[in-house]
Structure 1
Amino acid sequence: MVGLSDSFTTDQFGNPRPAISLVKFSSNGSVVWQKVWTGETQRGGGRAPTVALTSDQSSVYVTGLSNANGGDAVLLKFDSDGNLLWQRTWGGSVIREESEAVATDAQGAAYISGTQRDHQAGTAGLFVVKFNGDGTVAWQKIWNDASGSAVAVGPDGHVYAAGSKMRTDGSFEFDVLALKITNGGGLVWDMTYSAAGTVDARGGMTVGPDGGPIFAGAIQAGKKVVGISALLVKLTTDGGLSFDSQWGGSKNGTSGHAVALAPDGSIHVAGAASLGSGADEAFVFHVDTQGRGLDAVTWGGAGFDSGHGVGVAGDGTVVLAATTNPPGPPFTLLDTSGKVSSVGGAVAVAGGSLADAPGLAADAGALVINSTGGTSYAGNSETALVKFFGASKK
């Protein structure tokens, strides 16, 4: 589990400052090891930091945002015992690289994606950078006039990235931009997914059994209506729309923050729900391979709780990574409606191109320390892991 913590590092004045924290848990919930990267980190970005394992689970990659050069992407590689193998920043001196996502391929390479912003020029682009297993950069690409939030790798080695692109009709609404890229950095296709109002891919990506990309996020009604629902979209390998579903209703504001594929091909989405009762809960909803709702749960206490990660084991066990705030326990895991509805969105060719992205990789040069966190609630804003099996077998 990865996140930001200000419990173990301080700034030059002795005040707490955020740092990237990585914790490995055993299957029974006990801590195996816990590490903190002491490099200076910013809280900017939507999903960062994020984590990905290599297919053989021998290495762990973590990406986020470094303070270097006013905001560079950072990529850390650990072995399965928590030892730091190498650390890289990537970016430039006059631009900011907000790395939001990381994925790995079968050869152990890592791909990071996010937004490269040039504040002087007033421009932004979705970047994807491929790092070889030894930390060298294989290629770095950018799709201009967009922001990046997700990346995934298909079983055939193709790379998918997703982000947001403003419509050109003057509505100030946003569509999802989805890209398919070869493992050599060539653009295969670029598509936009649009629906009524603004849609985004803030919840990241995975890849279905057929090799098509799946992304989660949110859909927000247009015309200044506040309503927002969690969004799940699956595309085909050639960029066509397989299905699009939303979860949540008029009384609940919901947002998808993470997505995972189960061994049977069904899909779980985790996120945050503002319920009609005034409570804020983490949730996981579950759909089948066609996007039809199966079941859902909420988790939380009396404070503000939010889901940020989800994984599914081979036996169907679901693990929810969440954040919680005071007053803390008691927490409850409750069944809720798994009903989803079709969005009725559409895909179209975006018509852009990939260019070589400016930026240099460098050794980040920071220490990794063992942290001393515990598994008992300490009264602060904290992370939580919740393990359950299905909506009715918790």
Structure 2
Amino acid sequence: MRVLPILILALLAPLPAIIMLVRASHGICPPPQANIAERLEVNWDLTWGGMSSEAVYAVDLCGDYLYAAGMTWSFGAGGSDILLLKVDRRGSVVWARTWGSSELEEARDLCVNQSYVYVAGGCLLKFNEEGGVEWAKTLLRDGDPLTIQAVEVVGDGVYVGSREYVLAKLRDGGSLEVEWALNLTSALRPTIIRAQGEGVLVAYKGGRSLAKFSSRGELVWAKQLDVVIGGLYATGNAIYVTGTSYSAIHPTAAILKLNSDGSLAWSRRWGYSEFEEGRAVYVVEDEVYVGGGSGPSDEGFILVLDSEGNLLYEYVYGDGGIETFEDLLAYNGRVAAVGRTWSTSRSLREVEGSFASIEVSAETLALDTSEVELELENAEGSVTSPEGSTTYAGSGDALMAVFGISSIEAVYELGDFPSPFTLGGVANVTFVVGETGSHGLFGLGARTTDVLGAIGVAYALGLASESGYCYWVT
């Protein structure tokens, strides 16, 4: 029996995050593929705020840092101000910045490009990685300021969308210049912008319209969906949309996959309580992550689907208070979700909601566009560095939660481990014998934290042998 190396290593030191699964190789089931997501677990969560109200609506990643943008009423120059947080991967706030005036400001979108953070908060701001403001600009149409709510940066091209139905491409090549600008009709308010290929996708958050434009501002196509759009993500040849469907008795979260020409590939709905809104979607390889909020249950939710629209996992996050996720992203086996919380403590739990295909139309939309002249001027405002509390502080705090994706990272035959084999010690290993994710001995519910006992049970029942497979999940 060649399990001695495992037993010696398993008794060295505690590492509770490691899970080992022993599975037979004699026809009971084949070894799984590597890197298959098994479940989500909370790595850490962070609240930030003061005695008034805070929220974050967008998140992006650069290097080892997460950036989240939103609004604060507790700090700043007065009224609501733009809030920008920089957080390291351990969940510590590196710095916090506010920007604003005595008027009302809030950030609805951000995009990180080459260590610079572009923030859409009525005006357009550019922060450096130290939290300094490089510039703050207001866009004027016929002398009237536009309310910028979306930003996407591709190279030195900065695409912005305004509440006033204006889509523009700026050029940030040392000095900021307007390359082109379009007036759109009221059917398409450009409040979500995502790059795809040589152009950009533009969606109306809270509306039903979606369009694609070339990098020169030419309309490629426009569609009208019969779901209310909440979030958008683009890959090289596909478009993913989440939002809200009203086709069932209660409003449910909708998840759509479109082809690059805007035609529908598949459509799904998911419901858990009496009202679900999909607000963010992110795609990594063949997995689709969807985040949003549930109505009466007042909880955030995260769904994981495959690229064919099959539901893999479903979770809600909260604990009797009010939570909602406004944006999310996936990176290096983790999911970062941001939003707002009214709770002092929260937990993640797996649920079983209602999931089904739905009939959704993606009709061609007649969209008129016209060129418009825009002017740029410096925006008036001041920046502060507030010391917010990372313990729930008031009537609604900014929320960032990072969830780890448990996935099979390696498959080895028993005793055939790499050398040197260093995991920092694995004394508190949990062995589970059976199907991945079944958490039991082929449905018998056998589970033990005793390494010798687990291997002994496996061998006694003939479920593992010297040629069996051993996987560990981090």
Aligned residue among 119, 125, 128 for 1:62: 119
Tell me the equivalent position of 1:71: none
Tell me the equivalent position of 1:305: 323
TM-score, normalised on structure 1?
0.79
Report deviation, 1:93: 6.6
Letter in 2 for 1:385: M
Letter in 1 for 2:271: G
Report deviation, 1:40: 4.8
Q: Residues of 1 paired with 2:372 and 2:201: CA distance?
A: 17
Tell me the equivalent position of 1:88: 137
Structure with larger Rg: 2
Q: 1:324 to 1:53 in 2, by over 3 A?
A: same
Equivalent pair of 1:295/1:338 in contact (CA under 8 Å) = no
Q: Residues of 2 paired with 1:266 and 1:35: CA distance?
A: 34
Q: Structure 1 stretch 344-353 or stretch 354-363: which is displaced more?
A: 354-363
Write out per-residue CA displacement over residues 34-88 of structure 1, whole angstroms, 9 at most, x where no aligned residue.
11112355378xxx5211112x4x11111022xxxxxxxx111112222211111
Structure 2, unaligned runs of 5 or more: 1-67, 407-436, 438-472
Report deviation, 1:355: 1.2
Tell me the equivalent position of 2:228: 200
For 1:26-175, what aligned pairs fall within 5 Å after superposition? Answer: 26-40=88-102, 42=104, 48-54=107-113, 56=114, 58-65=115-122, 74-92=123-141, 97-105=146-154, 107-116=155-164, 126-133=165-172, 134-146=175-187, 147-154=189-196, 156-163=197-204
Tell me the equivalent position of 2:245: 219
Higher relative contact order (CA 8 A, sep 6+): 2
Q: 1:104 to 1:213 in 2, by over 3 A?
A: farther
How many residues are treated as equivalent by the alignment? 339
Identity %: 23
Aligned residue among 209, 219, 234 for 1:187: 219
Tell me the equivalent position of 2:85: 23
Report deviation, 1:374: 2.7
Equivalent pair of 1:151/1:204 in contact (CA under 8 Å) = no
Q: Residues of 2 paired with 1:246 and 1:59: CA distance?
A: 37
Letter in 1 for 2:119: V
1:176 aligns with 2:208: yes
Write out per-residue CA displacement over residues 341-392 of structure 1, whole angstroms, 9 at most, x where no aligned residue.
2221122221223212454322113222212113222133101211112388
Tell me the equivalent position of 1:7: 74
Letter in 1 for 2:219: L
Write out per-residue CA displacement over residues 201-227 of structure 1, whole angstroms, 9 at most, x where no aligned residue.
1x232112x3333222212249xx6x2
Equivalent pair of 2:271/2:353 in contact (CA under 8 Å) = no
Q: Secondary structure at the match of 2:252?
A: strand
Equivalent pair of 1:267/1:287 in contact (CA under 8 Å) = yes
Q: Residues of 2 paired with 1:77 and 1:41: CA distance?
A: 20
Tell me the equivalent position of 2:444: none
Q: Residues of 2 paired with 1:76 and 1:334: CA distance?
A: 38
Q: Residues of 1 paired with 2:238 and 2:119: CA distance?
A: 24
TM-score, normalised on structure 2?
0.66
Structure 1, unaligned runs of 5 or more: 12-16, 66-73, 117-125, 165-173
Letter in 2 for 1:316: G
Equivalent pair of 2:278/2:291 in contact (CA under 8 Å) = yes
Q: 1:287 to 1:114 in 2, by over 3 A?
A: farther
Q: 1:114 to 1:220 in 2, by over 3 A?
A: farther
For 1:205-284, what aligned pairs fall within 5 Å after superposition? Answer: 205-208=232-235, 210-221=236-247, 227-249=250-272, 251-262=273-284, 264-274=285-295, 278-284=296-302
Tell me the equivalent position of 1:362: 377
Q: Residues of 2 paired with 1:115 and 1:384: CA distance?
A: 25
Aligned residue among 358, 367, 383 for 2:398: 383
Report deviation, 1:175: 6.7
